[in-house]
Amino acid sequence: MAGTGTATVSLTLTLTVTNPASVEEGKRVIQITDVQDYAAQLFPQNIPAGTLDFSLNMGGVSLAKWVLLEIDKEVTLKLNQSAPDLGFPAKGIVLLQSESGISAVFVTTGVNPTCVKFLAVGS
C-alpha cells in the first residue's frame, strides 16, 4: 500500500488482564479513527546485526502522524534524529503517534539480525 489522497487510519485495541484462574480482571478497549494524506506500508525491512542508526524507509511519508512497527528482536529506536542518548528500547508491536510529525525512524540492532515491518501514515 502506498499512495496519495486521503488515508483513513482506524485502530481498535483491546487490552485484557486475566488472572491465573482464567478470570478476566480488567479490560480496556481503545478505538481511534484519523484521516491523513498519505500511507506507506513497507514489509519487511531486514537489518543486519550490529547496525548503528539504520534509517527506516518511510515510503514517501515525510511527516508521519502515525507509525506502526512490528520488530522481531529488541532494538533501540530513535525518532527524528540519530543523536546519541536519544533512543529507547523496543520489541514487538510499537505504535507511535505525533501531532507535529515523525520525520525519521532510526534503528540500532543488537547481536541478531532484525526484521522490521513498518506502516507510516501522514503527509
- The pLDDT tens digits of the residues spanning 27-58 come to 999 888 888 887 788 778 899 999 999 999 88
pLDDT computed for residue 22 by the predictor? 92
Contact present, 63 and 52 (Cβ < 8 Å): no
- Amino acid code (one letter) for 107: V
pLDDT computed for residue 3 by the predictor? 52
28 located within any domain: no
pLDDT computed for residue 20 by the predictor? 93
For residue 65, the enclosing domain spans 36-122
25 located within any domain: no
β-partners of residue 97 are 66
104 located within any domain: yes
Tally of structural domains, the chain: 1
Contact present, 14 and 88 (Cβ < 8 Å): no
| CATH number of the domain enclosing 72 | 2.60.120.10
Model pTM? 0.81
8 located within any domain: no
Which residues make Cβ contacts (< 8 Å) with residue 94, sequence separation at least 6? Answer: 67, 68, 69, 70, 71, 77
- The pLDDT tens digits of the residues spanning 90-122 come to 999 999 999 999 999 999 999 999 999 988 888
DSSP the chain: -EESS-EEEEEEEEEEEE-TTS-EEEEEEEEEEEEESEEEEEEEEEE-TT--SEE---TT-SSEEEEEEEEEEEEEEEES---TT--EEEEEEEEEEEEEEE--EEEE--SS-EEEEEEEEE-
pLDDT computed for residue 5 by the predictor? 63
For residue 61, pLDDT over 80 is answered with yes
Contact present, 43 and 120 (Cβ < 8 Å): no
pLDDT computed for residue 30 by the predictor? 85
